[in-house]
Structure 1
Amino acid sequence: MAPAWDTFGKRLTECRKAKNLSQKELAEAFVTSHTTIGKYERDEMIPSIDAAKKLANILNTSVGYLLGENQQSDLFKDPLMLKRFQDIATLPEKDRECLLTTVDHFIKSAKISLM
């Protein structure tokens, strides 16, 4: 049996949060209700293969990661983004916190402007 943290629902939640999406926002992109996303995340309902593929595409990860077949998420498919995050990881903690706070504010502002 897979560890509790290694379920489809837990991985879906992890990927959704990594993309800074609410259940409602993911549901809108997936064209379903937020209650369905909630059921997936609580492992109360398992999506079809096609639905899992669509979720993986929206979250920029692989179906294999969501299903627990591989341990590493494909959240960083873009090598330039991966390199940037690796560079950020080498910065002093104070600089990292400042940079991530700036990025968080930018993302929030961008989401608001899309509404």
Structure 2
Amino acid sequence: MNTGKIIADARDAKGWSQTDLADASGVSRVMIGKYERAEAVPSLDAAKRIADALGVSLDYLVGEGINSKFDKKTLKRLQDIELIEEPKKTVLFDLIDTYIRDAKIRKAQQ
């Protein structure tokens, strides 16, 4: 998936117009349109401002890297898990593992 499509999809998911994203990011609406149509590639600065406005990481915006599937809220939660004391962290991971196992079972039965 290209960066322009990712920008458009993330913008649409927020219910934003290109103008809304331009206002939130400080990147012109014309350039947002060019990025979404793959007529231009955002500079690192523009990509960072767009990612921040959309609440996603740069990895997510370019569709690459270990964190490319996570929004900033999820990444923050993952980082904050390290603050939890070990016995509670073990319980949390057991719960997460249970939900993941159940989701995989449901998906396999479809």
Greater share of helix: 2
For residues 30 and 45 of structure 2, the distance between their equivalents in structure 1, rounded to whole angstroms, comes to: 19
Corresponding residue to 2:26 among 31, 43, 52? 31
> Residue 8 of structure 2 aligns to which amino acid in structure 1?
T
Structure showing greater radius of gyration is: 2
Give aligned-pair identity as a percent.
43
The number of residue pairs the alignment matches comes to 74
Over residues 2-23 of structure 1, what are the superposed CA-to-partner deviations in whole Å (9 max), with x where a residue is unaligned?
xxxx000000001101111100
Q: Indicate if the aligned counterparts of 2:56 and 2:70 stay in contact, CA closer than 8 A.
A: yes
Aligned to 2:49: 54
TM-score (norm 1): 0.57
Corresponding residue to 1:72 among 69, 74, 77? 69
Q: Indicate if the aligned counterparts of 1:8 and 1:41 stay in contact, CA closer than 8 A.
A: yes
- In structure 1, stretches of 5+ residues that fail to align are 1-5, 80-115
TM-score (norm 2): 0.59
RMSD: 1.8
Aligned to 1:44: 39
- In structure 2, stretches of 5+ residues that fail to align are 78-110
